[in-house]
Structure 1
Amino acid sequence: MALDHIISSFQDKTILITGSTGYLAKIFVEKILRVQPEVKKLFLLIRASDLNSAKNRLHDEILQKELFKVLREKHGTGFDSFVGEKIFPVVGDLRHQSLGIKDLDIRNKLWREVDMIINAAAATSFDERYDVALKINTLGAFHVIDFAKKCERRMEVLLHVSTAYVSGNEPGLIMEKPIKLGETLIPNTHLDIDFKLKLVESELEKARNEGADEKTQRLAMKMLGLKRARLHGWPNTYTFTKAMGEMLMGHLREEVPVVIMRPSIIASTFSDPFPGWIEGARTFDSLIVNFAKGKVNYFLAKPNVIMDVIPGDMVVNAMIVAMATHRSESSLHIYHVTSSTWNPINYDLIADTSHRYFSRNPCCDERGRPIVVKKVLLLTSMTQFRWHMTFLYYLPLQILKLVNKVLLQKFRLQYNKLNTNYNYVMHLAELYEPYVCFKGWFDDLNAGKLRSMVSPRSNLAFDTQIIDWDDYFMTIHIPGLVKYVLK
């Protein structure tokens, strides 16, 4: 498929996008407006109290981002009028039926006009509240496919953004295959999604009847999510609820052409619209950020374990090529947008580049003094990590407990800080352990066929073999973190 044919696939098309204030959706919106200015309309579903609030979120959380500077420069003083003709905020919430769009005129307009849908909405915290994750990642997928089937025009394609880690902790080669309804990762077990939805409502009602405050309810929901995920073989609430979302997409789609995109760990942009743009600390980035601040000099990671990373702009390029390829096919296609098969990297590279970068370009503390970073210590197992935490936090905590009341009062602040840090670090380690000890890698035969349709050097490329990872982290990703996250 020629590059101009891919781009022309979006000419005069109307696209509905959920999760529009999120990282990937922003990159998609910017990209499609830049490469195909003749796209007809982009309807962005935005959670807001009213249309004015939605317009404010569109302005503040999307269009004002530096990501759009290239598009702004391209259109100059005509930028506002250009995006005003192309982008339309829609007040809604995919947690509800009909995507929570209460305005009947707008809802009917979308059903009449929409050609394509991108579902990029997600609750991505590994330990998100179970009720929240179910409503967004699972029930949200159901509401999106239901909305697509009601469109009067024949839906050309619905692209659903999932995650490569719906596979759980499977070792070895992980295939691009759909997840069947009710399938679990534990042999001889079955998953009933309706039961899961009823269970969470029952547990919430029980907590309220017992007078539990909001903090207690939140903790109970987080623990319930992790418990139910691990019961069926998934390591956390995020991947569990995303897997159930995929099940519903595949089972209920009927004749709707569906593309499920499974990226791995999404990082900063590689080149387009410019290198290094990122929003928020994404998974391993929290380690890099805390290392830069001098808060940690140790990572829980096995040096030789593959870490699968994919730049955000490459994910969006894959989305665009897949949508153009599978328009009106009435089929389901799964794509791993990953790097572990053809250009893998290890966790020791993250440790090494972090140390080298911040040794040469130290951050400063609140007094303006450079923060000196030490070489990263890699703790290769939870047993080793727990021993390290024992000497770093637990033993000092016990010593503080043993002092008399006067001294305990004096050291209360230090005690509370140590205790909070200890619990936080241990919780993070338990959440991330499945990934830093991950023994799988992702087959991308399907994605490879898409990659072959575009030149590795084109502005729609997503071939990670062109990436020198050491250079990427040293000159693109970590500087992007410093600029956009550490600021």
Structure 2
Amino acid sequence: MDYNYFFTGFPGFICNQLIREVLKRNERKGIIYVLVLQGMMDKARKERHAIITELGLKDDSFILIEGDITQPSLMIFEDNLVILNKRVTHVFHLAAIYDLAVPRDIALRINVNGTNNVNEWVRGLTRLKRYVYFSTAYVVGKREGNLLETELIRPASFKNHYEETKYEAEVLVENLKEEVPITIIRPGIVKGHSQTGETIKFDGPYFMMNFLERLKYLPLLPKLGKGEAYVNLVPIDYIIAATVYLSFLENGVGKTYHLTDPRPYRASEIYTFLMEELLNKKPIGTLPISVGKWFLSIKPMRKYLGVEKEALDYFTWMGHFDCTQAVHDLEGSGIKCPDFKDGIKSMTAFYLKQKDNPNYQIPIL
């Protein structure tokens, strides 16, 4: 089968890893088309060269296309639109703004309006075999309890604008399922590679590491709140392998998958694991979450600690992601979510190596 692939979100880390896995799975056959913002072209050229060299690809098998998902027809030149319409069989839409502290207008423009533009463009593709949309498990907002892959229910409220706009975008994609062969991927909180620890930014669980690193000289470090909530962390290698497998699984058409840890740890356990590995200490006492939020409401304090105040909302949120459908459809593939504890050493080693590298730290506003 002659497959050709179109990706948004390049040269982002998840996107470039996904491209590598797609090509490896399909014996390096087919043409890769990636949509790139004008201001990201230099970085995109370097990443393209790295992938071509690594996989031994022909130069004309990886095409950069300048465009913008926030514009009609993705701001792609007409000649390129004609070529893509004739060739593209698989679309992977990853482009989004993932920052928990993102302002609502920016999140709406990129996550919702951008996805609507991609949907409209996808509708016109004549050879489309699969449209894969990257959502997030946290479209559930502040809903709690057992949360199913088969549900898409608007919650009473959201923890931040990121969650809200990803929910709105997923609704748009969900409504397209009757017209287009779609697979929706809902990852948990993505962390670095389970074996190498490699990541490209220190957010999510790395906020805990920033906090511990900045305060390591204190005589004692307390826990943040009771920490009874489960925090669903999944390594990038699991996300990539599972996404590619399910994207080409015939039975995956029309389905939504939670790529989450079926056996997550509580926030207090993760905090303790990281403190022991990072500082060789154990937490003593408890700092109420309300006090932690107050400290992080002070801009100089949160910038010093390297922690977004929105991150603390996940320490108290009592939801559990049911991933039965994903686990079932991955049976026989050999793809399973690694235990978080097994990746702590590599995760910590990578963090310590890069903690002073500003390219890895999230700008704290």
Q: Same fold (TM over 0.5)?
A: yes
1:379-398 equivalences under 5 Å are 379=286, 381-385=288-292, 389=295
Match of 1:23 among 6, 9, 13: 13
Residue 149 in structure 1 maps to residue 123 in structure 2: yes
Count of aligned pairs: 354
State how far apart, in whole Å, the 1-side matches of 2:159 and 2:8 are.
Answer: 26
Alignment correspondent of 1:358: 278
CA contact (8 A) 1:16 1:116 kept: yes
Q: CA deviation at 1:384?
A: 4.4
Alignment of 1:304-383 (within 5 A): 304-326=228-250, 332-339=254-261, 342-359=262-279, 375-376=282-283, 379=286, 381-383=288-290
| CA displacement at 1:308 relative to structure 2 | 0.7
- Mapped to 2, the partners of 1:380 and 1:176 lie a distance apart of 34
Q: 1:239 to 1:38 in 2, by over 3 A?
A: same
Is structure 2 residue 321 aligned with structure 1 residue 442? yes
* Counterparts of residues 22-421 of structure 1 (less than 5 Å): 22-48=12-38, 54=41, 56-61=42-47, 63-64=49-50, 72=53, 79=56, 82=57, 84-101=59-76, 103-153=77-127, 155-179=128-152, 184-186=154-156, 233-271=157-195, 275-294=196-215, 297=221, 300-326=224-250, 332-339=254-261, 342-359=262-279, 375-376=282-283, 379=286, 381-385=288-292, 389=295, 420-421=299-300
Would you say 1:454 and 2:333 are equivalent positions? yes
Give the AA of the match of 1:121.
A
> Do the aligned residues in 2 keep the contact of 1:289 with 1:486 (CA within 8 Å)?
no
Q: Deviations over 1:307-329 (max 9, x none)?
A: 111111111112112111138x8
Q: Residue 175 of structure 2: SS of its match in structure 1?
A: helix
CA contact 2:210–2:306 (8 Å) conserved in 1:
no
Distance 1:355 1:446 in 2: 34
Provide, for residues 68-116 of structure 1, a one-character-per-residue CA deviation record: whole Å limited to 9, x for no partner: 6xx856x5xxx4xx25232111100111111121x21111111111001
Determine what percentage of the aligned residue pairs are the same residue. Answer: 20
Return the alpha-carbon distance in structure 2 between the equivalents of residues 291 and 171 of structure 1.
28
Counterpart contact for 2:208–2:271, Cα < 8 Å = no
| CA 302–110 in structure 1, closer or farther in 2 if over 3 Å, else same | farther
Amino acid corresponding to residue 61 of structure 2 in structure 1: K
Query: What is the distance in 1 between the residues matched to 2:8 and 2:285?
Result: 39
Do the aligned partners of 2:223 and 2:268 also contact (CA within 8 Å) in 1? Answer: no
Cα distance in 2 for residues equivalent to 1:235 and 1:378: 27
Structure 2 CA distance for partners of 1:439 and 1:17, relative to 1, 3 Å: same
Q: Which runs of 5+ in 1 are unaligned?
A: 1-10, 187-232, 361-373, 395-418, 456-460
The answer to whether residue 351 in structure 2 is matched with residue 481 in structure 1 is yes
Please say if residues 47 and 93 of structure 1, whose CA atoms lie closer than 8 Å, have aligned partners that are also in contact: yes
Call closer, same or farther: CA 1:120–1:448 in 2, change over 3 Å.
same
Alpha-carbon separation, structure 2, partners of 1:310 and 1:335: 14
Distance in 1, matches of 2:284 and 2:132, equals 41
- How far apart in 2 are the matches of 1:164 and 1:256? 22
- Give the deviation of 1:279 after TM superposition: 0.6
Structure-2 change in CA distance of 1:485 and 1:430 (3 Å):
closer
Partners of 1:318 and 1:450 within 8 A in 2: no
Q: 1:379 to 1:264 in 2, by over 3 A?
A: farther
Contact 1:266–1:282 (CA<8 Å) still a contact in 2? no
Q: Alpha-carbon deviation of 1:60?
A: 3.1
Change in CA separation of 1:293 and 1:148 when aligned onto 2, cut-off 3 Å: same
Matched AA of 2:168 = M
**What is residue 219 of structure 1 aligned with on the other side?**
none
Change (3 A) 1:276 1:12: farther
**Alignment partner of 1:259: what SS?**
strand
* Cα distance, 1:300 vs structure 2: 3.2
With structure 2 as the length reference, what TM-score do the two structures score? 0.86
Q: Following TM superposition, by how much is the alpha carbon of 1:357 offset from its aligned partner in structure 2, in angstroms? A: 2.7
Q: Quick one: distance in 2 between partners of 1:240 and 1:427?
A: 24
Distance (whole Å) between structure 2 residues aligned to residue 133 and residue 323 of structure 1: 26
Letter in 2 for 1:311: P
Letter in 1 for 2:11: T
SS in 1 for 2:35: strand
> Secondary structure of the residue that 2:132 maps to in structure 1?
strand
One-letter code aligned to 2:118: V
Deviations 1:395-425 (A, max 9, x none): xxxxxxxxxxxxxxxxxxxxxxxx6424658
Give the letter for the 1:97 counterpart. P
Change (3 A) 1:420 1:438: closer
Structure-2 residue corresponding to 1:471: 342
TM-score where L is the length of structure 1: 0.66
Contact between 2:234 and 2:340, CA under 8 Å: does it hold in 1?
Answer: no
Q: Which residue identity is paired with 1:287?
A: M
**Deviations 1:326-349, CA, capped at 9 Å, x for gaps:** 38x8x521100001xx32212233
1:431 corresponding residue in structure 2: 310
Partner-residue secondary structure (3-state), 1:90: strand
SS of alignment partner, residue 38 of structure 2: coil
Per the alignment, do residues 62 and 126 of structure 1 end up closer, same or farther by CA in structure 2, a change over 3 Å counting? farther
Cα gap change, 1:429/1:264 in structure 2, threshold over 3 Å: closer, same or farther? Answer: same
